[in-house]
C-alpha cells in the first residue's frame, strides 16, 4: 500500500524538524502489519535561511530517504495542490492520501467557500488518476492568529463545516472512501507548536495519531497510535 502525504508548512517541516511524516512512518513501520511504501515527488524540508525547500537536515538523520517522500510545500494549500494531485497520484501509484491543508489558504489566498471548492476539486483530480484512492483529511486547526483576528477565526470554523459536509457528500465507501480525521483532543497550539502554528515534537505525534486512529477506526487500516505524548518535550526549543 502506497501512502502520500499532502500538506502545507506543517507537513513539509523545516530544517531541524522531525515532522509528523516521520512520526507516521515510525508508526506504520511498527504496526501496519503489511507492506507499505511512502511515495511522492519531493523529499526536502523548507530552509528558512534561503526561503526554499532545499534542506535535507531532518532531526533524525536515520530517517531513510525513501520514506521522506511527500507532496507538501511551505506556503502551499488546496489552491496549489489541486492542480498537482492528478499527476502525482498517477505517477506515484498512491493508494492512500493523508492530507492536511487549508490554514494557509484561509490566511492568504481564499475564503472558506473558495477553499472548500478547491478541496472538492482536489478529490475529483485524485480520483481521476486512481478511482479507488482513499483520502484522509485533517480539518484546519486555527493557529495563534485566530486569537486576535476574529474574521479569520470565523473563516476557519466555516471552512471546517464546509469540509465536513463535502467529505460526507463525496464519500464513496465501496470505491474511493473519504474520511475526516478528528484533531487530537489534547492538541494545544501553545504547548504542541513552536510558534503557534507549526508542530513541535508533541504536535507531530498528535497529528500522526489523528490520522492513524481515524484510518484504524474507519477503514480498519493499521493500528491505533501507540505514542502521543500529552506534554511538550522539556528539552525542545526553537529559535
- Is residue 133 in some structural domain? yes
Report if residue 225 sits inside a domain. no
Q: Number of folded domains in the chain? A: 1
Examine residue 162 and state whether it is found in any structural domain, yes or no. Answer: yes
Q: Which three cell numbers stand for residue 109?
A: 489566498
Q: Which residue range(s) make up the domain with 48?
A: 2-219
Q: How far is CA 35 from CA 27, 142, 217, in A?
A: 13, 35, 20
Report the first-to-last Cα separation within the chain, whole angstroms: 38
Conformational region of residue 113, where left means phi above 0, alpha means psi within -120 to 50, and beta covers everything else:
alpha
pLDDT at 33: 87
Question: What integer pLDDT is reported at residue 236 of this predicted model?
Answer: 36
pLDDT by residue for the chain (239 residues), tens only, comes to 999 999 999 999 999 999 999 999 999 999 998 999 999 999 999 999 999 999 999 999 999 999 999 999 999 999 999 999 999 999 999 999 999 999 999 999 999 999 999 999 999 999 999 999 999 999 999 999 999 999 999 999 999 999 999 999 999 999 999 999 999 999 999 999 999 999 999 999 999 999 999 999 999 999 999 976 654 443 333 33
Residue 41 within any structural domain of the chain: yes
Instruction: Give the alpha-carbon dihedral of 27, 36, 128, 181, to 10 degrees.
Output: -20
Flag whether 124 is in a domain.
yes
Residue at 229 is within a domain: no
CATH of residue 78's domain is: 3.40.50.1110
Amino acid at each position: 500500500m502506497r501512502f502520500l502525504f499532502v500538506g502545507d508548512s506543517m507537513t513539509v517541516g523545516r530544517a531541524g524538524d522531525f515532522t509528523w511524516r516521520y512520526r507516521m512512518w515510525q508508526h506504520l513501520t511498527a504496526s501496519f502489519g503489511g507492506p507499505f511504501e511512502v511515495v511522492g515527488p519531493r523529499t526536502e524540508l523548507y530552509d528558512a535561511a534561503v526561503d526554499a525547500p532545499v534542506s535535507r537536515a531532518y532531526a533524525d538523520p536515520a530517517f531513510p530517504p525513501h520514506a521522506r517522500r511527500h507532496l507538501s510545500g511551505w506556503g502551499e494549500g488546496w489552491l496549489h495542490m489541486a492542480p498537482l494531485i492528478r499527476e502525482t497520484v498517477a505517477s506515484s501509484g498512491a493508494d492512500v492520501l493523508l492530507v492536511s491543508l487549508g490554514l494557509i489558504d484561509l490566511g492568504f489566498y481564499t475564503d472558506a467557500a473558495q477553499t472548500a471548492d478547491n478541496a472538492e476539486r482536489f478529490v475529483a483530480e485524485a480520483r481521476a488518476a486512481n478511482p479507488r484512492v482513499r483520502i484522509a483529511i485533517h480539518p484546519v486547526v486555527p493557529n495563534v492568529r485566530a486569537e486576535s483576528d476574529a474574521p479569520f477565526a470565523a473563516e476557519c470554523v466555516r471552512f471546517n463545516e464546509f469540509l465536513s459536509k463535502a467529505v460526507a457528500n463525496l464519500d464513496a465507501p465501496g470505491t474511493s472512501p473519504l474520511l475526516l480525521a478528528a484533531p487530537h483532543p489534547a492538541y494545544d497550539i501553545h504547548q504542541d507548536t513552536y510558534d503557534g502554528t507549526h508542530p513541535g515534537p508533541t504536535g507531530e505525534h498528535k497529528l500522526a495519531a489523528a490520522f492513524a486512529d481515524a484510518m484504524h477506526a474507519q477503514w480498519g487500516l493499521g493500528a491505533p497510535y501507540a505514542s502521543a505524548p500529552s506534554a511538550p518535550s522539556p528539552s525542545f526549543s526553537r529559535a
